[in-house]
Structure 1
Amino acid sequence: EFWRYYWRVNIPADANISWQTCTSTCDSAIRTWGDTVAECVIDKLCPSHTVVVFAYPEGKENAQN
């Protein structure tokens, strides 16, 4: 089975929202998401023959599925 070596990690989608001001640069992010630290640790520790799919569902109920 192809999907046998894939697994999904649900991380709650708590977005970091930062306000832009008149002193902000044009390329500054308005909204960011993701947990790069958690993704890095899981990618390093997962078995090498597997693929991890990271999902950031909205709301508590969706993060538990």
Structure 2
Amino acid sequence: MSTTIIGALTGAILAVVALVFGFWGFLLTALFMAIGAVIGRIASGKLDVRAVTDAFTGRRTS
């Protein structure tokens, strides 16, 4: 799947959730989608957690 299709599906899911569950349901769904994306990036090895923590603590710049 291309990134355009994934982005369109994500937008469609968030739109349906916003219509069905309202604003707070939308925010909760968006938060869980973001957490899932980060976990997926870590599991696939595309995100180095140590580099991210070093950047947040000021040890290294990004």
Return the TM-score normalized by structure 2. Answer: 0.31
Name the structure where strand makes up a greater proportion of residues: 1
Larger Rg: 1
- Higher RCO structure (Cα 8 Å, ≥6 apart): 1
